[in-house]
């Protein structure tokens, strides 16, 4: 496994990502994954009336289309989040659109919600064998404008609400122009009100989260938290990637467009969790951003996260990171 990880680092990022997941799926389908990897012992607990095997899960982006639910679940994650998915399939932004900064445990991506569409993901949700928690992260199509963006979220909710253990509304990706505008005071009220009505009409009783940006002002976050506290939303996912490239030591990457994830994001995202808890101590939070080690994982929990996700850490370290984090 270690030799394989060293090899794929020399491949183009998206090819490396696909090859890694396809290889994992093959090993799982051949029933030999256990010979290459021993998954951690379960540490079951309950959160928002859902039963988790442990507090560590995957963040959206790792498995955009739900094509790898069963093999990722076999690694011992406590939960999975698939997506971001949009109503219609879309190719995303022009390549190259992923830039790895290995010496800083970081990645910059400007993928732009490339995915196969909600219907493809829905089929994978229906046919999964994995019996753990699977959340679905939903977004808006790039070509949708103004009110149609909110309609995109409603379309996705309608299609997947029966098959998702929780839903995440992603309004914080920096790679779809104008998407983060939904976090403004006027737009967030409209978005939450519309989704509120929709989930009530569907009698959707499972958790629904809003995924926020680490780049918003405290006043914007305060307004969002107040809106969430007075809605049917369960809580927040803090945070998405940052556009603040100066967090990287290597100045070569400072002018690259896209969202920065990995170790340089850790402090900023963790501080956001802590700030949210000062506003609303009881609000449920899924913490994500820069988790590379057990210490990072524990720091997210200590800051106020109830459960934790990782993405870039998994890309950099491979499946061994799960045991590294959960065995302590």
pLDDT of amino acid 36: 83
173 is known as an active-site residue: yes
CA distance 87 to 265: 29
Catalytic residue from among 144, 172, 173, 213 = 173
β-strands 98-101, 106-109: how paired? antiparallel
Work out the average pLDDT over 278-300.
97
Report yes or no on whether pTM surpasses 0.85: yes
Cβ–Cβ under 8 Å, residues 221 and 238:
no
CATH topology of domain 2-326: TIM Barrel (3.20.20)
Which among 147, 145, 167 is positioned nearest to 156, based on CA atoms? 167
* Tens digit of each residue's pLDDT (9 = 90 or more) over 92-151: 999 999 999 999 999 999 999 999 999 999 999 999 999 999 999 999 999 998 789 999
């Amino acid at each position: 496994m270690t030799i394989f990880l060293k090899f794929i680092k020399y491949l183009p990022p998206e090819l490396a990502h696909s090859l890694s997941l396809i290889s994992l799926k093959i090993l799982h389908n051949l029933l030999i994954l256990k010979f290459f990897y021993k998954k951690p012992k379960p540490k079951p607990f309950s959160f928002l009336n859902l039963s988790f095997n442990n507090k560590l899960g995957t963040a959206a982006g790792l498995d955009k289309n739900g094509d790898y639910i069963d093999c990722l679940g076999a690694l011992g994650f406590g939960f999975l989040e698939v997506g971001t998915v949009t109503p219609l399939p879309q190719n995303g932004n022009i390549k190259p659109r992923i830039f790895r900064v290995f010496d800083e445990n970081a990645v910059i991506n400007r993928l732009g919600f490339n995915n196969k569409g909600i219907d493809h993901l829905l089929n994978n949700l229906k046919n999964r064998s994995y019996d753990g928690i699977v959340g679905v992260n939903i977004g808006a199509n790039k070509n949708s404008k103004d009110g149609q963006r909110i309609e995109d979220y409603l379309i996705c909710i309608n299609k997947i609400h029966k098959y998702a253990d929780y839903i995440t509304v992603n309004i914080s990706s920096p790679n779809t122009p104008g998407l983060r505008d939904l976090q403004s005071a006027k737009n967030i009220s409209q978005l939450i009100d519309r989704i509120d009505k929709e989930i009530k009409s569907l009698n959707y009783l499972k958790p629904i989260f809003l995924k926020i940006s680490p780049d918003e002002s405290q006043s914007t976050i305060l307004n969002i938290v107040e809106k969430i506290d007075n809605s049917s939303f369960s809580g927040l996912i803090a945070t998405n990637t940052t556009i603040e490239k100066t967090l990287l030591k290597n100045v070569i990457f400072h002018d690259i467009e896209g969202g920065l994830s990995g170790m340089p994001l850790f402090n900023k995202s963790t501080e956001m969790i802590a700030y949210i808890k000062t506003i609303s101590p009881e609000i449920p939070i899924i913490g994500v951003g820069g988790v590379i080690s057990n210490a990072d994982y524990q720091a997210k929990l200590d800051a106020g996260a109830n459960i934790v996700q990782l993405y870039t850490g998994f890309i950099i370290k491979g499946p061994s990171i799960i045991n590294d984090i959960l065995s302590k």
